[in-house]
Each structure stands twice: as structure tokens, then as C-alpha cells.
Structure 1
Amino acid sequence: MAYLLPLAAVLIWSGNNVVNKLAVGVLFPAEIGFYRWVLAGALLTPLMAPRLWRFRHQVKPLIPRIIVLGLLGMAVYQTLAYYAATMTSATNMGIILSLMPLMALGLSSALLGLPLTLGALVGAVISLGGVVLVVSSGDLAALVARGINQGDALMVLATFAYAVYGVLLKRWQPPLPAMLLLYLQVLVALVALFPLLLLSPQRGASVEAVPLVIYAGVLASMVAPLLWMQGIARLDPSRMSLFFNLMPLLTAVIASVLLREQLTWAHLIGGGLTLAGVILAETWRRPLRRAAGVSLPGSADS
């Protein structure tokens, strides 16, 4: 049952990649990035404000860590994704997020001392190959010559931010109810993004903007992060993040229906590689330390 948590979260976030793209021309990135947290905060405050008062003594020493988590997971990741949507496709955004396992594997090993498995390592490399194929549109020489475009680069930074968020959340494991922890991170995002809203151009509210903000503010901002945090409490970050490999496939399907984005052979093969990576990582659990004869950080013989 623990695997259903990240799967449901990834499904919601896949839809949010499409919402990010749909928001282009309707709301500026700073607008939807701020308004989604306003909606989430407004819905959570009546429920969480009394609980926050009861847990105020437990919360106080955790404030620095909550600020870091809120900035990484709610402010930096989400805002970079909105700006990336103005310069790249929803399909590319979903596929780039499959870099998450490779990033989380290295961070988990370095920060948590978790042992790597051959399947996880090889699966992450296969996923990386799929991402490179998509970002290059099947032309690796052109990618080397012109480099990665700005939208794809922003998604790489956003993905790294969320990988760090997941690993820190697992390492710190703040002893607070999940909903309260989510609420506190929403408050951090509101404070952090308000200056950006003031400095950015604004289009204002419109009929087209309302469903986009509702999806982002309720499902993507409240339901999916809660599912993800619950999953991290049961599974290690590297295994959790491997579910991001399903996002390319889910995003591509949704984008092809709603945005009419055309799937190329590079998308199909690259998406297939990322899916193969998650299957390999979940079925091949042989410890890397025993197979390669090397010690890992945190291992008994290191």
C-alpha cells in the first residue's frame, strides 16, 4: 500500500505539468506560483491554526528546518517549474523530472548513508539516458553544439531542488503531524513568494485562471505533497523518487490529449527508457557494496 502514495502524487503532479503549460498566457509565473499557496493556506488555516497553537513549543526549535523545506519544496521547485513552462513543453518537463532518482541516489548515499543497489544505480543511469535523448530531440551532436535550452535548464534546477527537499525531509523527519508540517511549509512559500509577486508583471484574475489555480492550489499543493510526505515516511528517498520515472509517460499522455503536443520518436524511446529504469530499480535489489567490493558511506566497513 505504501507504493500507492507516491504513485498517486506523481499522477497529480503529471497533471500539474500540463496545468503549468496551460497557465502560460493566462497568468504570469509569479502570479500562479503565489495564488496557489494563498488558496492552500486559506483552506488549511481554519483546520491547522488551532493545531499550530497546540504544537507551538514543538514547532519553535524546528523553524529553521521548516524554512529550508518550505523554500526548497514549495517555493523554489514550483516557481522554477512555472518559469520553465514558458520556454519548454509539458512533455519535456515531465521527462526531465526523471532525473530525480539519479540526484536522490547520490544525495541519499552522501547524507543518509543509505546503501546503493545495482538496480537503482543502473536504472537511474538508464533514466538519465532517456532524459538526454528527449532534451536533445534525438540529436546529441546538436545538444553538444547549442547546449540545453533555458526552459529545460530551469526544470533541471527545479528537479534538483526537490531531490534535496526529499532527502532532507527523510533525514530530519520533523516530529510533527504531516498536515501541520505541510501547512507550515505553505506559510513559508507565501512569505518567500510575495516579494516576487510584487516585482513581477501581473495579468490579474480571469475565468480561465480559476480552474488552474484550484488544481494547483488544492491537488498539487495540498493533496500531492501530503501523499509524498507520507510515502517518504515509509520508503527511503531514492526508492520514492524512482516513481518520478513514471511522470514522463503520464505527462506525455495528458499533454497529448489536452495540449495536442506531438510525441516524437525521441519522446517515446526516452519515456520508455525512464519506465524501464523504474522497473529495473524495483526488481534488482542486489547491494552494490557486495557486488563491487567497495564500502559505502555509513557502511560497517567504511
Structure 2
Amino acid sequence: MNTKTTTIWWAFSLPILAVLIWSMNIAVTRYVADYITPVSISFYRWLVAFIILTPFMAKKVWQNRHLIQQHFWQFAILSAFGMVLYQGLAYSAAHHTSATNMGIINAFIPVFTIFVSMFILREIPNRFAVIGSILSFFGLIYVMAQGDFASLLGLSGHSGDFVMILAVFFYAFYGVFLKKWQLKVPLLISLYVQIGFALVYHLPFIFWFGLQGIDANNVASVLYAGMFPSLVAPFFWMLAVQYLGPNRTSIFMNLMPVFTAIIAFFWLNEAWTIYHSIGGVIILLGIVLAQKKTAVVNPMQSAK
């Protein structure tokens, strides 16, 4: 009997929207770096998200408390990797590198995710995922080199870039753990509980570094961070991981340098050059190719 797999095409819009929101947040993060400390904005963004969700989720969390207790340590680990280590390190990196570099480094998440998936899930990517990842990675290198690969030899390391690399490595674990555990918990409840853990994780850092106040210079950035990249984008991303899997979802992170460059062009008046266009096309082609699945041959058909 033939098994027909229905591709949920609308699911592909979920990671695109999430990456667009996060790309905007990179620009916001870089902008507000001079007005608030990393620990403070990281704490405030999750506090804002927690306050927004509480009226809608408090009762549901109480009703599902036994289910939450059952996955207590899994929620704790997800929050640590996805909301504290990744987001906190990203805010720290913003003080020492550019928004463009942060966007480019974020696009390395697919490479890390494939590696982590092989280690934890024992998943071997198909040839389309490998070729697509290599192609999109080539596009990233092209953008990073500004069209001149020889210039890469002259690039010096930067502490902020290394911190951002560490951040995206942790986020790769977050995506793979979501796929590995596939918690039978409503996504909003899962998100709410993870945010609660994130607030608790921030307490020792606040005690050590202090908490900066909110003022006219940073309030808009805090509110944006607390709503869109903290609530809307993670929800879209977790849905995408469920429907597409961590490897196929994470490849969309390669759009981040393109989205970041577009935002910088219109908002920060940064120049859009030919290498952005060429690299962007290569990245998009790699993403499309990586979504292609290897055909499964039916043994009965192959015997004919």
C-alpha cells in the first residue's frame, strides 16, 4: 500500500516570520546596547512576556500542573538553553560586535543543529539537506567576505563574535531537545513555563550585576523585546520544529543576514550592495533545496 505524505506548506511561513522578528530584534538589540545592560534587558524582556501571558495562562498552568511537574526538568533545560544562554549571550555580544555580524553568525545555527542532531538524535541528514546547507553556507561566506573571498584572510577575531557563536551553539541544542522530547504540552503553556524558569535563572545575575532602570531611551526596545521576539517568534518557531523538524526549521536562520541587511538599509541607512543581492539569492536557493525530502521507494513497487 502506498503511503502519501502531505506537505504542510503553510508551516514554512512560521520560521520565516520568526526569523524576521528576530532579525528586527538584532537591530533593536544593537541600538539599545548603549542604554541598558545585557542582564537588565534580558530580564525585562522575559518579565514583560510573563506579565502579558499570566492573565491567560495562570489558570491553564494550574489545571495542567501535574503534566508540568512530569516534564519539570525538561522545561528547565529548554529555558536554560533557549532563553537564558542564547538570549543572554546575544545581548552581551551586542556590546562588542555589530548587528550585521550577529545576523550572519545566527545563520550558522543550521550547521550546529545538524551536528547536534547527529549526536543526540542519531539523525543522518539526506543529500538534499547536506547540499542545501553547503550552498546556503557558501552564500553566507560570500556575504561575510563582501564578495571577495581573499578578504576573509584579513578578518581579525572579535570577542563579541565568539560570544555570539557560543550563543547559537546553545540554541541548536534548544531546537534538537524540542524535537527529541516532543512534549505533549500545549505550546503556550510550554512557553509560559520556560519564561518562568528564565526569570528565576536571572535572579543570581541581577544580584551580582544589578538591575538598571527603564527610561525613555530603552522602554520601547524593552517592550518590543518582551512581546514579539519573546512571545510571537518563539511560538512560531516551536510550531515549525513540530511540523518540519529541527534541521529543516533551523535552515531558515540563513535568512537572518538578508533580513538584517534589509532592515539596516531602510532603518539605519546602511548601503545595500551587489554582494548582498548575490549572497541572498544563493542563501535562498540553499534553503529551498534543503526542504526537499528524499523519495521513499516502496518495496512492492521496486519488485515489479
The question of a shared fold, defined as TM-score above 0.5 by the shorter chain, is answered with yes
Aligned with residue 116 of structure 1, among 107, 122, 125: 125
Q: 1:128 aligns to what?
A: 137
* Structure 1 residue 233 corresponds to structure 2 residue 251: no
The aligned counterpart of 2:65 is 56
Deviation at 1:170, TM superposition (A): 0.8
| TM-aligned CA deviation for residue 211 of structure 1 | 1.2
C-alpha separation in 1, matches of 2:196 and 2:76? 9
The Cα of 1:73 is off from its aligned counterpart by: 0.6
d(CA) in 1 for partners of 2:255 and 2:133? 13
SS at match of 1:3: helix
How far does residue 274 in structure 1 lie from its aligned partner after superposition? 2.6
Q: 2:165 aligns with which of 156, 159, 162?
A: 156
In 2: Cα distance, 1:138 partner to 1:199 partner: 44
**Greater mean deviation of Cα atoms: 75-84 or 274-283:** 274-283
- Pairing 1:214-293 to 2, within 5 Å after superposition: 214-263=223-272, 267-283=276-292, 285-286=293-294
Structure 2 residue 38 is the aligned partner of structure 1 residue 26? no
Kept after mapping to 2: 8 A contact 1:102/1:121: no
Q: Write out per-residue CA displacement over residues 92-127 of structure 1, whole angstroms, 9 at most, x where no aligned residue.
A: 211211111111122223322334122211222233
Residue identity opposite 2:237 in structure 1: W
Cα distance, 1:256 vs structure 2:
2.1
Which whole-Å deviations, capped at 9, do the CAs of 1:118-147 have from their partners, x for residues lacking one?
221122223333444555566766755765
**Post-superposition CA distance 1:245-277 (Å, at most 9, x none):** 111111111022222334566655544443332
Summarize the Cα distance change of 1:279–1:148 in structure 2 as closer, same or farther, 3 Å threshold: farther
Is the 8 Å Cα contact of residues 262 and 272 (structure 2) preserved in structure 1? no
Contact 1:2/1:231, CA 8 A, preserved across alignment: yes
How many Å separate the matches in 1 of 2:205 and 2:141? 32
- Contact preservation (8 Å) 2:140, 2:254: no
1:234 shift after superposition? 1.0
Distance 1:197 1:116, change over 3 A: same
Distance 1:13 1:217 in 2: 12
1:2 alignment partner, SS class: helix
> What residue is the counterpart of 1:35 in the other structure?
44
Range with greater deviation from structure 2 (87-96 or 211-220): 87-96
The answer on whether the counterparts of 1:14 and 1:247 sit within 8 Å (CA) in structure 2 is yes
Which secondary structure state, in structure 2, belongs to the residue aligned with residue 261 of structure 1? coil
Do 2:42 and 2:87's aligned partners in 1 also have CA atoms closer than 8 Å? yes
- Map of 1:208 onto structure 2: 217
Gaps of 5+ in 1: 291-302
Q: Which has the larger radius of gyration?
A: 2
Shift of residue 157 of structure 1? 1.2
d(CA) in 2 for partners of 1:146, 1:239:
30
Could you say which residue in structure 2 is the equivalent of 1:293?
A: none
Partner of 1:295 in structure 2? Answer: none
Letter of the structure 1 residue corresponding to residue 68 of structure 2: V
CA offset digits 1:21-46 (Å, max 9, x no partner): 11111111111111000111111112
Counterpart AA for 2:161: D
What residue in structure 1 maps to residue 3 of structure 2? Answer: none
Residue 81 of structure 1 deviates from its aligned partner by 0.9
Q: 2: CA distance between counterparts of 1:193 and 1:14?
A: 24
1:180 counterpart residue number: 189
Distance 1:106 1:21, change over 3 A: same
RMSD: 2.4
Looking at structure 1, the residues matched to 169 and 280 of structure 2 have their Cα atoms a distance apart, in angstroms, of 19
**Number of corresponding residues:** 288
The CA distance in 2 between the partners of 1:150 and 1:268, in whole Å, is 28
Tell me whether 1:197 sits opposite 2:203 in the alignment.
no
- Pick the aligned partner of 1:94 from 93, 103, 128: 103
CA–CA separation in structure 2 for the residues paired with 1:214 and 1:232: 26
Partner Cα distance (2:279, 2:206) in 1:
36
Report the TM-score when normalising by structure 2. Answer: 0.86
Q: CA deviation at 1:167?
A: 0.6
Greater CA drift, 86-95 or 157-166:
86-95
Aligned to 2:26: 17
